[in-house]
Structures are given as structure tokens and as C-alpha cells.
């Protein structure tokens, strides 16, 4: 090896070790992801050796280095200017389903309902705390928010008047199990442009495995007619969101089944559970990798025929993504996002609800515990995530979900390794999909 | 034949010019809820206008 070649080769090894570049093979293709610019390169398969090291001609690499690719340190730490943007309305903690994998678990104040006054007060307060922001988003969540549809309706209607008063735009979504989504309710939600996240796990056998009533009867037969109505009345503004578990790992075939039924917007995610028979285990990872490979290959074919199809986690936006400062941050818990409980208490996100140690304030008192908010500002920023420092995926993942860290590792800061592995295999699949859609 | 071909040109560097307008969505508010990623987020200034959140 000539001296110059040796120098470049060593430099690439260093960049690979520090996560600046990520060479990987996915199905029959080899790629390099340049995390410093969010660019994707196709490489000749012979250039990626078995041990993961690269063997590329000097002139090919030099050309791109001169154009600014493969450089470390492009994203630098800027002052953190994040502000509150969104609320999760914990409308009620009651649910008509009794799904064994639900992260909500038993809650206090089960019979309280979030009042319209409290919700409107919170929208106004968040707007006051973030005067520079034009729009505030809120998700009706629970429990099952359609159990208290009258309140949901009232909040949506009253937000129009609030919007006129504050000049802010309020955008709503609703997360539901769909069993109570009557034609009249759907018509109201359609009329008011309320985006929907509908929880559903796939065909009847898979769905009914966990999504059951308290008497263990399956819920599919009550959910499916509502989803069919939804598909007949809108072509966007929804995601059917499935959960896969240790017992129901074959999510790729469920996505394909959903698409065959006419569902075009699909999201599937790993369960959050410390129960060994429900939560994803290390031994499940090779199977999950195959599932993402299968789904990625199928997604490329479908998207070429039907661009309206979307598998949420493959929709990486490398060309129109958020700015560099935002890429330094992970979930918005406690900094951009707050969960509002019926008693007016605010928590960093819906997964922290009812955890007194993490209560950040109260909407009625208009008080925010700034010390606690600072803790969340710190743990959701990449500059403080030492475990992520050399990871190639950090600017795509943002450092993961801190609620998962707490549930699975007992600490906001400790990354949950299984989630990291799933995240990385899912991101490689997403990069493959995006690369394939552009290469042909 | 070149062994290295650029497929997708990321735009991180260009985005520095108009960074931090703060109008983009927070990942927790995405259609995902428990394993969201920052890579799925779109810059609000480049987002297609829609009556829906996503």
C-alpha cells in the first residue's frame, strides 16, 4: 500500500470507529452512510470486506472528501433553543380494552376525566411559554379517549375561539383503539381534520393475541369495521399502528396483510415491556433483522407501484430533514412535549404519567419546576449522551426514548441496548429503502 | 468504473442557514409514540402543506 493510500485507509477506519461513516451490507447491496452530511453512497460489494473494513480506490474517496463528505465535527453544539410545542392530553386513564402488553398499567385517579377548561388552559399556557411558535399540537390520548368523546369534541370546538384570541394554530391528533369510533364520531373528526393513530396489530389471530377485553375476548371484530369506515372516508391523516412482541415477532407479514386490506399508512413498533414473555429479548434480534429485510424489500416494490404507501419508520427524510441543531436532540420529553393529566399535573411524556418524581408542574398553578425541566433538557440532548458519542446512528435516532431507558434500565441516561439494536437494524433498512427508491 | 456513488445527498450543511425556526414537530408527537426517531422528522419550512399533522 502506498503511503497516501495507507493514510486514507487509516482515516476511514477511525471515521468508522467514531461513527462518522457507517459501511453496511443490506440484502444484496453495500452502502456507506455518511452521518456528518446525512448522505448515502452505494459501494461496490467487493469494497466492503468480511471484517467490515473498506477497500476503496483513493481517487474515489478523495473526490468526495474534497466536496465536504466524510468529515467529522460538522454538527457542533449550539445553544439549546428548544421550546414547548406539543401536549398529550391524558383524557381518561380508563380503557375498554385490557391488553396484556399495555405500558399504561394500573393507574391512580382512574375515574378522572380531563376537563375542557383544564385542556384549554394548558393550550393557552404552552402558547404563553413558547411565544415564538405559531402552532401548538395536542394528542387526545388515554386510556381510551373515545370513552369521553364529549370532552374531546368540546376541546376541539373551543380551540377555534382560543385560536382567534391567541393567533396560534392548534393541530390535533387522537390515539384510539377504534372500537368506539362510530360513523358520527368519525364524521366529526374528519370535519375538524383530526389526525388519527389507530392501534391495531394485524390480522384477527395476531391482533386478538394481546388486544383483548377484560374477559379475554378478542377485540378485532369490533375494531375492523371502524377501520374500514376510516379507510372509506379519508386517504391520509391516519396511521394504523401495530405493536410487535416477543410472542408476535412476525410483523412484516402483518404489514403486508394490512396493505392488502387497503391500509396505506402503517407503523409497527417493538413493545415496551420488562416482562420476559412479552418484551423483546436479545435472542429475538436475528429474527427481527430478517423481518426488517423482508419488509424493506417488499416496501421498495410497493412504493414504486404505489407512492401513497408509507411504513412510518422507513420514511427517513435525509433531504428535507430537520436542521442540525434539532438533530442533536432526541425525543422532546419534558422540553418540547408534555403530558397533561386530568388533575392538571404535567409530566415529560405520556409514559411518565402518574410518576410523582417526574411531575414537572401544574397547569392550574402555571408553575413549572425549572430544575426538573433542565434535567430533561440535558438527558434529551446528544452532547450529554456519552454512550451515543461514537454511534453512526446518533443523528438519525437522536439518542432514543428516555422513558424506555427508565422502564428497562432504571435510569433516564442508560441506553436500553435492545432498543438500540432494533433502532440500528431499522435505520439500515430505511436507508436501503430510500437508496433503492433513488437508484432505479 | 467508480466503486463509490452518491445516491442521496443529505442537506445538513445547507440547513444550517435557516436553522432553529422551532416550528418542526417534536418526535414524541409523531405517529409512533414509543420508538420515534429524529431522522423521520421533516423541516417545517420544507414540509408540504396538509390539513393533517402527518
Instruction: Enumerate the residues of chain B whose CB falls inside 8 A of the CB of residue A425.
Output: none
- Taking a contact as any Cβ pair under 8 Å apart, which residues of chain A between 80 and 139 contact chain B? 81-83, 85-86, 88, 103, 130, 132-135, 137, 139
Q: Is A216 helix (H, G, I), strand (E, B) or coil?
A: coil
Contact predicate A87/A127, CB 8 Å:
no
ipTM: 0.90
Sequence-distant contacts of A202-205: CB under 8 A, at least 24 apart: A202/A242, A202/A248, A202/A251, A202/A253, A202/A254, A202/A255, A202/A257, A202/A258, A203/A254, A203/A257
Sequence-distant contacts of A303-307: CB under 8 A, at least 24 apart: A303/A433, A303/A437, A304/A437, A304/A440, A306/A264
d(CA A20, CA A225): 48
Kindly tell me if the per-residue pLDDT of A199 is higher than 60.
yes
d(CA A185, CA A179): 11
Q: How far apart are the first and last CA of chain B?
A: 41
Least confident of A17-26, A279-288, A396-405: A396-405
- Angle between the N-to-C axes of helices A285-305 and A251-260, in degrees from 0 to 180, rounded to the nearest 10: 20
- A316 vs B40: CB contact, 8 Å cut-off? yes
Longest alpha-carbon distance in chain A: 75
- For chain A, give the percent of residues with pLDDT over 90: 73
A207 sits in which H/E element: helix A204-210
**How many Cβ atoms are within 10 Å of A421's Cβ, its own excluded?**
16
B28 in contact with A, Cβ within 8 Å:
yes
d(CA B4, CA A57): 9
- Taking a contact as any Cβ pair under 8 Å apart, which residues of chain A between 144 and 163 contact chain B? none
Residue of B nearest to A333 (CA): B28
* pLDDT tens, position by position, B30-50: 666 666 788 888 888 888 888
A354 in contact with B, Cβ within 8 Å:
no
CA distance to partner chain A, nearest, from residue B49 (Å): 12
Kindly tell me if the per-residue pLDDT of A361 is higher than 70.
yes
Residue A9: pLDDT band by 50, 70, 90 thresholds? Answer: low
Residue of A nearest to B42 (CA): A321
d(CA A84, CA A336): 4
B14 in contact with A, Cβ within 8 Å:
no
Kindly tell me if the per-residue pLDDT of B15 is higher than 60.
no
Residue A75: pLDDT band by 50, 70, 90 thresholds? Answer: low
A40 sits in which H/E element: strand A39-43
Global pTM reads 0.94
Amino acid at each position: 500500500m502506498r503511503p497516501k493510500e495507507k493514510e486514507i485507509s487509516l482515516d476511514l477506519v477511525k471515521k468508522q470507529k467514531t461513527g462518522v461513516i457507517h459501511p453496511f451490507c443490506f440484502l444484496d447491496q453495500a452502502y456507506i452512510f455518511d452521518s456528518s452530511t446525512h448522505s448515502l453512497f452505494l459501494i461496490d460489494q467487493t469494497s466492503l470486506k468480511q471484517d467490515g473494513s473498506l477497500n476503496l480506490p483513493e481517487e474515489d474517496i478523495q473526490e468526495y472528501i474534497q466536496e465536504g463528505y466524510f468529515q467529522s465535527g460538522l454538527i457542533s453544539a449550539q445553544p439549546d433553543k428548544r421550546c414547548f410545542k406539543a401536549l398529550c392530553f391524558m383524557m381518561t386513564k380508563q380503557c375498554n380494552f385490557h391488553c396484556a402488553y399495555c405500558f399504561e398499567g394500573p393507574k391512580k385517579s382512574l375515574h378522572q376525566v380531563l376537563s375542557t377548561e383544564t385542556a384549554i388552559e394548558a393550550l393557552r399556557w404552552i402558547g404563553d411559554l413558547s411565544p415564538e411558535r405559531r402552532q401548538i399540537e395536542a394528542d387526545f390520548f388515554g386510556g381510551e379517549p373515545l370513552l369521553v368523546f364529549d370532552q374531546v369534541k368540546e376541546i376541539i370546538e373551543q380551540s377555534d375561539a382560543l385560536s382567534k384570541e391567541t393567533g396560534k394554530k392548534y393541530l390535533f391528533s387522537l390515539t384510539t383503539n377504534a372500537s368506539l369510533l362510530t360513523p358520527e364520531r368519525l364524521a366529526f373528526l374528519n370535519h375538524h381534520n383530526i389526525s388519527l393513530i389507530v392501534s391495531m396489530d394485524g390480522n384477527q389471530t395476531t391482533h386478538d393475541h394481546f388486544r383483548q377485553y377484560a374477559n379475554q375476548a378478542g377485540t378485532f371484530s369490533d375494531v375492523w369495521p371502524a377501520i374500514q369506515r376510516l379507510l372509506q372516508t379519508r386517504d391520509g391523516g391516519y396511521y394504523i399502528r401495530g405493536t410487535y412482541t416477543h410472542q408476535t415477532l412476525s410483523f412484516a407479514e402483518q404489514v403486508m396483510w394490512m396493505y392488502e386490506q387497503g391500509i396505506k399508512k402503517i407503523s409497527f413498533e417493538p413493545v415496551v415491556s420488562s416482562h420476559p414473555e412479552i418484551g423483546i429479548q436479545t435472542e429475538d434480534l436475528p429474527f427481527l433483522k430478517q423481518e426488517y429485510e423482508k419488509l424493506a424489500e417488499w416496501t421498495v416494490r410497493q412504493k414504486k407501484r404505489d407512492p401513497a404507501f408509507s411504513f412510518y419508520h422507513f420514511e427517513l427524510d435525509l433531504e428535507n430533514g430537520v436542521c442540525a441543531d434539532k438533530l442533536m436532540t432526541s425525543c422532546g420529553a419534558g422540553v418540547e412535549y408534555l403530558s397533561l393529566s386530568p388533575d392538571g399535573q404535567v409530566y415529560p411524556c405520556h409514559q411518565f404519567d402518574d410518576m410523582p418524581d417526574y411531575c414537572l408542574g401544574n397547569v392550574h398553578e402555571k408553575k413549572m419546576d425549572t430544575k426538573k425541566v433542565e434535567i430533561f433538557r440535558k438527558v434529551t440532548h446528544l452532547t450529554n449522551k456519552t454512550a451515543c458519542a461514537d454511534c453512526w446512528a446518533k443523528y438519525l435516532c437522536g439518542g432514543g426514548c428516555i422513558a424506555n431507558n427508565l422502564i428497562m434500565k432504571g435510569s433516564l441516561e442508560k441506553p436500553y441496548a435492545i432498543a438500540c439494536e432494533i433502532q440500528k437494524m431499522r435505520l439500515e433498512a430505511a436507508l436501503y429503502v430510500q437508496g433503492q427508491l433513488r437508484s432505479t | 468504473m467508480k466503486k463509490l456513488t452518491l445516491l442521496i445527498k443529505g442537506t445538513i450543511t445547507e440547513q444550517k442557514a435557516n436553522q432553529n425556526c422551532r416550528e418542526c414537530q417534536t418526535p414524541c408527537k409523531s405517529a409512533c409514540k414509543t420508538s420515534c426517531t429524529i431522522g423521520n422528522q421533516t423541516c417545517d419550512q420544507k414540509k408540504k402543506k396538509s390539513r393533517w399533522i402527518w
